[in-house]
Amino acid sequence: MIRNLKSLLFTDIPLWFVWFPFRSLIQRLPLRLVTLLGGVGGIVMYKFSKKKKKIITREISLLFSKTAPLKQEEIEKIAYKGIQVFCKRHMENLYWGKLNHEITGQMVSIDGMQHLENALKNGSGAILLTAHFGSHLLPPLVLGFKGYKIHQAAGPPLIDKQRPIYRRIFNQRVKESEKQPINFIVIGQSTRNMLRVLRKNEILFIAFDGSEASKMIPVNFFNQKAFFSPGTFKLSLMTKAPILPTFIIRQKDDTHKIIIEPPFELEPAEDEEKTLALNTARFAKIFEKYILKYPCHYVMTLMRVEELIQEGALQTNLFRTENK
């Protein structure tokens, strides 16, 4: 009972306040000011949220433990930047329903647009393979505002395993997302929907680090065994749709840059299973490269996964380690 009361006072009520009355205020402010408030929130969280800081510093230490172990000072620096990115991203999420072509045009630039345009000339659609990295919800939205038909593969919501306030927030976000130029496809419900999208020469976003796929295989990731789905590469083999590695980087001025890389060429192996394993491992190295360069863009994802494990909404993380 005491635990439920603490959750009500320190989780449910603050979340309700942020996502409903406070959110209405936020959407009346200039986006630059909203981002600035996110930075202030990051400072407060870093100084006063001991639980989050403990989790994130541990996750950073574990991630780099088998490659180049970090000094405590380096861990603290990444943790601070990660919390800043996290809070700024969530403030931008409160602004989600107000985002349009003009606003996203001011806050986001794109490198590699020609790779996407060339890929679509083949008529087989394009798979933009990304991750829960930085402000990962922005790339599909930005391309949608540019007139492209965008579909985002997403896992089933975890709200049934969380507190009721999360369902209210989820329903609010669904309501706002229905007005945006993105169609969501729930992973596992129908592969035919994804095939149909690509055959219509449209764009499909998939998160490489998603945990919803029915089959996951082990690959080397930061010199540890991590599990990723080979499903995207099988989908590419089936449809001939090119895979374009796509990531978003927050700039020093708090604008964003979307990087669309050249097509990821699938390397063949002796059979399909080995081909899928080989290319899953190859893409993991690309993902690792981005994390090494911008660790603050991913460590909060690791923290949030650990929190979901502690809440019972998830079973394991990428490395298949249980609740610690």
Residue 284 within any structural domain of the chain: yes
Amino acid sitting at position 293: K
Mean pLDDT of 299-311: 90
Q: Name the residue range of residue 295's domain.
A: 2-311
Residue 324 within any structural domain of the chain: no
Domains contained in the chain, number:
1
- pLDDT of 158 higher than 90: no
Residue 323 within any structural domain of the chain: no
Neighbouring residues of 296: CB distance < 8 A, sequence distance ≥ 6: 78, 81, 82, 84, 85
Segment 126-138, tens digit of pLDDT:
999 999 999 999 9
Q: Are 152 and 203 in contact (CB under 8 A)?
A: no
DSSP string for 32-91: HHHHHHHHHHHHHHHHH-HHHHHHHHHHHHHHTTTTSPPPHHHHHHHHHHHHHHHHHHHH
The pTM of the full predicted model, rounded to 2 decimals, is: 0.92
For the chain, the average pLDDT equals 91
SS3 of residue 131 by DSSP? coil
**E-assigned strands of the chain?**
108-111, 126-130, 150-154, 183-186, 203-207, 217-221, 224-228, 243-250, 256-260
Residue 17 within any structural domain of the chain: yes
Higher-confidence residue: 20 or 132?
132
- pLDDT of 229 higher than 70: yes
pLDDT for 184 = 93
Q: Are 32 and 38 in contact (CB under 8 A)?
A: no
Residue 15 within any structural domain of the chain: yes
- The helix (H) or strand (E) run that includes residue 8 is none
Residue 316 within any structural domain of the chain: no
Residue 238 within any structural domain of the chain: yes
Residue 319 within any structural domain of the chain: no
Segment 78-109, tens digit of pLDDT:
999 999 999 999 999 999 989 999 999 999 99
